[in-house]
Every structure is written in structure tokens, then in C-alpha cells.
Structure 1
Amino acid sequence: MTDDTLSEAAKAVIRRNTEQVQGGGDWALYDELFSDDFVDHTPQPGRTPDKAGALELYKTLRAAFPDFHAEIHWQAAQGNLVTTYKTYHGTHRGEFFGIAPTGREVRFETVDAMRVVDGKITEHWGVANLFSLMEQLGARPGTP
């Protein structure tokens, strides 16, 4: 398999996760796409850095934003490591980090890198603009 072929296959796995798991709530596909020894190097607060912790985050997001979905702006890959820049969209219809549903439509940007080995996601590093999300929900963190 050439490096280009490997990169395209890895990008396809990440797109399936973004569109079908995050955007569609396909938890059976989640189990298929994520390696049992998955490691999240940048877990969200209160989440474990493993497969179970990532699934819990995905389910929390879908419960709070039932129409949660992403617009992928671009993907770049070097071998099996895929970087994706995307904007998440959703309507706040369930509790999220202690914030009661507001009915507000939100959007926030994310950049993440995920490694794919043998068709499964094995590692994740990411940065999400959660400050923007919290502002849109009317919750502003205290100032120092």
C-alpha cells in the first residue's frame, strides 16, 4: 500500500467517524472504528483518555445537541495520521456541562489529529473552541 493510498484510507475512516458516529449517533460503528486500546491524548475535562471516555463525550454531545453534526473544511494526512479542521453545529436541547437547554443554535471550530491503524482509530489529539461554545450558551468562565 502506497503512502497516498494509506492516507486516503485513513481520511475515509475519520470522515465516517465525523459524519456517521458524531453526526448520526451510530454507536455500533463507533465500536467498529475505534481500537480497544485507543488513547485520547487531549481528553475533555471529566473524561477518561480511552475508548470509553471518548464514547461518553460523543453521547453527551448528541444528548445536548440532538442535531449535532460537523462541516469538514479540510483534511490533511501524512501516512496514517489525519488532521481535520471542521465546524460543529447543533441546537442546544439537553443539559450540557450543567447548562440547562437554551434552544440556541451553536457552532464551534475544532482541529484534531487522529491516527488510524488497520482501519481503526488508535490515537487522538485535538483542540476545540469550547470558549466560543460556552459563550454561545450564555455561560462565560470567570475572569482571573
Structure 2
Amino acid sequence: MIVNNKAVVRRFNKEVIEQGNVDSFNALIDDKFVNRSAPAGMDNGPQGMICFFNEVLRPAIPDISVTIHDQVAEGEMVTTRKTISGTQTGPILGVPATGKKVSIEVIDMVRVKDGKYVEHWGITTLPELLATLSKA
């Protein structure tokens, strides 16, 4: 089960975040999914999650790649330390395109049940990156 849950998270990172595959997203996300780390005012359900990846992140960083550094799993919980990187060729959350290589460090905790994301918690360096880019 733990190996399966880690594989689900790896698949989500490659197929959904990196490739923008909506079919994979729909296959891997539970209808009752809750993003416990969604910013205030943002949809914390499945639509908010796919919207962030495919309407905010991917247009800003079209060559996005995800590097998984570590994964630890226990029961239904999978914690992943990863880097999301690429070139910021489009605007992101109010910051104009810079053409710079960018990296977002992430630590995610995902509860996986029956092969699907049920809950997510995350800490990222996105706010720091945005602050740095806006000064460029």
C-alpha cells in the first residue's frame, strides 16, 4: 500500500504538474478532495487545484519540470520534497514574464485513499520567488 501511494504521488507530479494531463488529474483526484493549503479565497477543491496548475503555473512556466528529491510514506500519508523548475516566460500571479530560470521548493503531504488524492497540505517557496521576481 505504501509503495502504491508513493507511486500515485509520483504519477501526479509527472503527469499532472509536469505534463498538464487533465485525464490523469481526474483519475487521481477524489471528488471530495480538499487542499488544506489553498490560499484564502481560492477554491480548495479539485477545480482550484487543476486551475492553479493549468491556468496559473503552466502558462507562466511552460517548460515546467518536477524533481522529486525524497518521499516518505506511512499509511495513507505521503510526504514529498521536490523542486518545480523551468523558465518564467509568462506572467505569474501579477508578476510579468522575466525570461529567468526559476525554482520553487515544495514539501507536500498528501493523503491517498484508494489510489486518489483526498487531502493535501503544502509549504512552498513560491511567495519568496514572486517577491524576488517582482524586484527584477
Query: Quick one: which amino acid aligns to residue 2 of structure 2?
Result: S
Instruction: State the Cα distance separating 1:136 from its structure 2 match.
Output: 4.0
What are the equivalent positions in structure 2 for 1:19-30 lying under 5 Å apart?
19-30=14-25
Rounded to whole Å, the distance in 2 between the matches of 1:69 and 1:117 is 26
1:58 to 53, 58, 63: 53
Instruction: State the Cα distance separating 1:128 from its structure 2 match.
Output: 0.4
Gaps spanning 5+ residues in structure 2: where?
A: none
Rounded to whole Å, the distance in 2 between the matches of 1:45 and 1:90 is 26
Query: Quick one: which amino acid aligns to residue 119 of structure 1?
Result: G
Higher Rg of the two aligned structures? 1
SS of residue paired to 1:84: strand
User: Number of residues paired by the alignment?
Assistant: 135
Gaps spanning 5+ residues in structure 1: where?
A: 1-5
Is the 2:95–2:130 contact (alpha carbons within 8 Å) kept by the matching residues of 1?
no
Rounded to whole Å, the distance in 2 between the matches of 1:139 and 1:43 is 25
SS of residue paired to 2:38: coil
Alignment of 1:130 onto 2:126: yes
**TM-score using structure 1 length:** 0.88
Identity of aligned residues (%): 36
Query: Quick one: which amino acid aligns to residue 91 of structure 2?
Result: E
Is the 1:106–1:136 contact (alpha carbons within 8 Å) kept by the matching residues of 2?
no
Instruction: State the Cα distance separating 1:44 from its structure 2 match.
Output: 3.1
1:43 to 38, 41, 46: 38
Q: Could you give the per-residue CA deviations for residues 26-82 of structure 1, whole angstroms, max 9, x where no partner exists?
A: 111101100011001110354211000001111110111001111100000001110
Rounded to whole Å, the distance in 1 between the matches of 2:122 and 2:130 is 18
Rounded to whole Å, the distance in 2 between the matches of 1:79 and 1:18 is 20
Instruction: State the Cα distance separating 1:24 from its structure 2 match.
Output: 0.8
**Root mean square deviation of aligned Cα:** 1.4
Corresponding position of 2:94 = 98
Rounded to whole Å, the distance in 1 between the matches of 2:127 and 2:119 is 24
